[in-house]
Amino acid sequence: MLTRIKPLRNISSQSVAKSLSLRYASKDASTAKTVQQISGYEHLPNNSTVFSMIQPTGKFHIGNYLGAIKAWRTLSESNVEECKFIFGVADLHAITIPKKSTELKANRLEAMASILSSGIDPKKCILFYQSAVPEHAELHWYLTCITSMGALNRMTQWKSKQQEVESTSSKKFLFEHTKAGLFCYPVLQAADVLMYNSTHVPVGDDQSQHLELCRAIATSFNDVYDTKFFNIPKTLLTPSQKILSLRNPTKKMSKSDKDQKACVYVTDSPEEIQTKIRKAVTDSQQGPIYFDPVERPGVSNLINIISGISNKPVDEVVKDLEGVTEHSVLKNRVADLLIEEFSKERDLYEKLMGDAAYLEQVYNQGRDQAREIASANIKQIRKLIGMD
């Protein structure tokens, strides 16, 4: 049922910005309850709506797999009553850095095939392309109009971009040459989540700040329009730690790395996986293997990979490695686990990439399901705003 609109009281851009800023800055107990560190997801309530998206960067590497896709599979396979699982390819986010149309199209298809080959069942979830649901862009604008620039300027990833540019150039250069989409995309992320009135969002720790902003925006909208329309979504922190480059374990694993031995793809052959892991940077320390991301980043990165693949806590992995003193033994364990984990995915990915008709059927079905929910919600949102 649509929430009845009550008269708005003295709404101004200053009051909206103040409301958002105060709520974003808040670190009270109620905010803390919105973040859950869950390993098995068995505590997901009935009738939840779980939402998550991943950017189409082409074939997935193990960081993508452990940071997102494996959690999606675990969630969608849980027997939670009347729970909706909505997963998407965030192709609108992908153009914050413009790409050639042929590259973007190929990346979108590869992402869809990678998701399906990783065990995501389209019968158990809604799987779609973000750009196929135009309501995302519409809600993005409504939410942008109640979001302060100060809140966006505090985003850690934006501040990192500022520091990166300012170390080599001036602040004027930053604002002249950085596109507005890169600054505003956290609001689009909020629109993605709120479009489906999501209750839970599985993310890695590096995205938790964006979910804090999403909650602040949802709360601000509810306050401004005197409604309780938007749920305040909870963060489900995925158990896997951030996976780092095999060749430079001080930075995140990335497909764009010039050294392709730094990145292991889900579709790599056993021989490729063995070669890349064998050449992974560790250190010169001899003796027992232990976890220390500061002093031993390379070794710790390999331990994190074992932890993510085997679903074991880091301390348990370290205990299993008791007695191991040679890096080669550690690397062999990592390679064997990865080869076994991705054997089915690799074969299925190749089959899917050769079956364009099936891929089209999956994403068209997901588009229709997503639009049915989004169009109903946007009608209510328009009425709340006065756009009906």
Catalytic residue among 124, 242, 252, 379: 252
Q: With contact defined as beta carbons under 8 Å apart, do 64 and 54 qualify?
A: yes
Catalytic residue among 124, 161, 312, 383: 161
* Alpha-carbon gap, residue 270 to 142, rounded angstroms: 48
* Alpha-carbon gap, residue 126 to 362, rounded angstroms: 9
Catalytic residue status for 18: no
What type of residue sits at position 70?
A: K
Catalytic residue among 124, 242, 255, 261: 255
**Which among 265, 254, 259 is positioned nearest to 281, based on CA atoms?**
259
Q: With contact defined as beta carbons under 8 Å apart, do 55 and 103 qualify?
A: no
Catalytic residue status for 99: no
* Alpha-carbon gap, residue 297 to 106, rounded angstroms: 34
93 to 46, 130, 133, 371: CA distances (angstroms): 30, 9, 13, 18
* Alpha-carbon gap, residue 137 to 191, rounded angstroms: 8
Those residues whose C-beta lies under 8 Å from the C-beta of residue 359, and which sit 6 or more positions away, are: 109, 112, 113, 116, 352
Catalytic residue status for 161: yes
What type of residue sits at position 262?
A: A
**Which among 16, 110, 115, 12 is positioned nearest to 70, based on CA atoms?**
115
* Alpha-carbon gap, residue 144 to 131, rounded angstroms: 18
Angle, in degrees to the nearest 10, between helices 208-224 and 180-194: 70
Q: With contact defined as beta carbons under 8 Å apart, do 212 and 24 qualify?
A: yes
Which residues participate in catalysis according to the annotation?
Answer: 161, 252, 255
